[in-house]
Amino acid sequence: MYCDFYGFKEQPFAITPNPRFIFLSKYHREAFAHLLYGIESHAGFIELTGEVGSGKTTILRSLLGQLDDSKHRTALIFNPKLSADELLRTINREFGILATGTIDELMHALNQFLLNENAAARTAVLVIDEAQNLDPAVLEQIRMISNLETDTDKLIQIVLAGQPELVDLLESDHLRQLNQRIKVRFHLPPLDLEDMASYIDHRLEIAGGWKAATFAPMALKKIFNYSNGLPRLVNVLCDRALLIGFTEESREISPKMIDLAIRELRRENLPKSYVPLLWRLAAAAAITVALVSTGFIIGQYIESSNSQSTAAQASLSAGSSAAAPQVTDAIKSDLEQISELDCATQGFNELARLWNIKPVVEYNGKTVHRGLELVAARRGMRLLNLKQMQIRDIVATNAPCLLELSIPGIKGTRYIALTRIGSGEFFLLSPVSKMTWALPEKTLATYWTGTAYLLWRNVNNLPDSIQPGTSSVEIRKLQTMLAKAGSYSGKQSGTFDNATQEAVRKFQKAHFITPDGVPGPRTLLNLYRACGETKGPNLSNTGRT
């Protein structure tokens, strides 16, 4: 829509992976080097982890594209939500060998293929993306595949790539043997501000309009604070900002445009004078066509449209200014005295106090998210990381949580415990002064990034990744809980059939969760609370439910 205005040959920030736009930051290059070293040294197992949207798939595609076909045979499994048998068939199919028959026949065919490739001095490489979704039984099958070896060499190199949850999965007791076989590990951190700016310039240049669109320095900082350096979120925000720049006929993306783009992406409640972006685009296009067809000059309309946009932004700024004094004096004063990591530690310890578990003594993670996951796991808890959330989602969850804040004037992000909601106000505990701040919803929404961390317990060991048709005692427990919550009225057969999946969707819709029919961690947390089958603090009175 805006390509002609900026002179782009194509959209620079499309979400769909495009090899032409590959950008390898210093972290991506380091990850690439680890993967290549693991493969060339025949390490056997290689682990790559990173947050959603950090660029793991980009690295994997780049790796597979650069491996010499004359020296390697590769197989990529992108959706590993398969049974152990299905995975083996898929692997054989990817390698172009027998994919039908019994398990013994499939393993024999794979073993023979690997021996032939080894004799021909070619390395077989199996890459499994989104590996955190693998069932333990499937991981055990992968371990069995890794047993195919000669007296001196591993016949297949296996790359397991996934979100940080993959580490927790592999550290479980029943996968200890597999975890011990992983010789090369790398966690991919987000881009830093410098790399993010280079990433944006790179994509603009490839699209053909590097000088046609520029981002102001403060705009880049706002993009960084919103995205935390995750390329996928950078793409989404930059794309929206370019749309706003197009409607305002500005080739320089200002900080105010980034603020407006963030508000639109978060779908926050805006003043009535605000006109949604797509409506403005449609109206502008329709009026332009009408005026041109009748010979009118459209300059007056553009001026009027820009005036309305400026008025809307002024209205937004006025709303923010009114709320700002409530946080800049007390909250900013406290939060600028403490580091991001210490802030997260203090916030987690408040949640630990409410849950009656041990506080944090030290971190062993490279990121705040990973560190929190580790300390939670050691205390028999699960950490749920919620992103791109709205205030209503936190209210519906009704659980104390750690909120990620972006405060103007403070570099990076800060974390603060939300302990209670009452009388339309949200009560936050200062990590420094230990004072409780009561903020109205609009003020909190101004500084909250949309990311939150919650503690919970999966007391019934319900699976959070289920294939249709799967049967187990845990699925019967899931059906019992769905029935108790009023979402399921079918037979409690213990099989994850269509009726059960629809019940999950029904429950998800009622709790403002994307109705995908998959009982993921957020769905299970809300289900436990709806059924009253787990005790824990709540936001209504910070008591136990």
Condensed to tens digits (0 to 9), the pLDDT of residues 175-202 reads 888 888 898 999 988 899 999 999 999 9
Which regions of the chain carry the CATH code 1.10.101.10?
A: 473-531
CATH code 1.10.287.1080 for 473-531 = no
Instruction: Give the pLDDT confidence score for residue 419 in this predicted structure.
Output: 93
60 close to 129: Cβ distance less than 8 angstroms: yes
Instruction: Give the pLDDT confidence score for residue 54 in this predicted structure.
Output: 86
CATH code 3.40.190.10 for 327-456 = no
Instruction: Give the pLDDT confidence score for residue 124 in this predicted structure.
Output: 95
Which regions of the chain carry the CATH code 3.40.50.300?
A: 26-188
Report the chain's terminal Cα–Cα distance, integer Å: 51
Instruction: Give the pLDDT confidence score for residue 39 in this predicted structure.
Output: 93
Quick one: residue 374, left, alpha or beta (phi over 0 = left, psi -120 to 50 = alpha)? alpha
Within a 13 Å sphere around the CA of 229, how many CA atoms are in the beta-carbon half?
Answer: 18
Q: What are the two backbone dihedrals, phi and then psi, of residue 254, each rounded to the nearest 5 degrees? A: -95, 165
Architecture, CATH, for domain 26-188:
3-Layer(aba) Sandwich (3.40)
Quick one: residue 44, left, alpha or beta (phi over 0 = left, psi -120 to 50 = alpha)? left
CA dist 263 and 241 (Å) reads 11
Instruction: Give the pLDDT confidence score for residue 36 in this predicted structure.
Output: 92
Q: Which residues of the chain have pLDDT under 70?
A: 1, 79-80, 209-211, 267-329, 361-367, 534, 541-545
Instruction: Give the pLDDT confidence score for residue 302 in this predicted structure.
Output: 29
In the chain, the largest separation of any two C-alpha atoms, in whole Å, equals 83
Instruction: Give the pLDDT confidence score for residue 255 in this predicted structure.
Output: 94
Instruction: Give the pLDDT confidence score for residue 367 in this predicted structure.
Output: 66
191 close to 228: Cβ distance less than 8 angstroms: no
487 close to 509: Cβ distance less than 8 angstroms: no
Element (H, E) at 439: strand 436-440
CA dist 393 and 377 (Å) reads 24
Assign 176 to helix, strand or coil.
Answer: helix
Element (H, E) at 72: strand 72-77
Nearest residue to 34 (alpha-carbon basis) of 50, 51, 16, 52: 50
Adjacent-strand bridge partners of 28: none
Instruction: Give the pLDDT confidence score for residue 69 in this predicted structure.
Output: 86
Q: What are the two backbone dihedrals, phi and then psi, of residue 31, each rounded to the nearest 5 degrees? A: -60, -45
Q: Who contacts 359 (Cβ-Cβ below 8 Å, separation ≥6)?
A: 348, 349, 352, 353
Burial class of residue 353, CB neighbours in 10 A (0-12, 13-18, 19+): middle
Adjacent-strand bridge partners of 537: 544
Instruction: Give the pLDDT confidence score for residue 366 in this predicted structure.
Output: 54
Which regions of the chain carry the CATH code 3.90.70.10?
A: 327-456
pTM score, whole prediction: 0.50
Instruction: Give the pLDDT confidence score for residue 380 in this predicted structure.
Output: 81
Instruction: Give the pLDDT confidence score for residue 288 in this predicted structure.
Output: 42
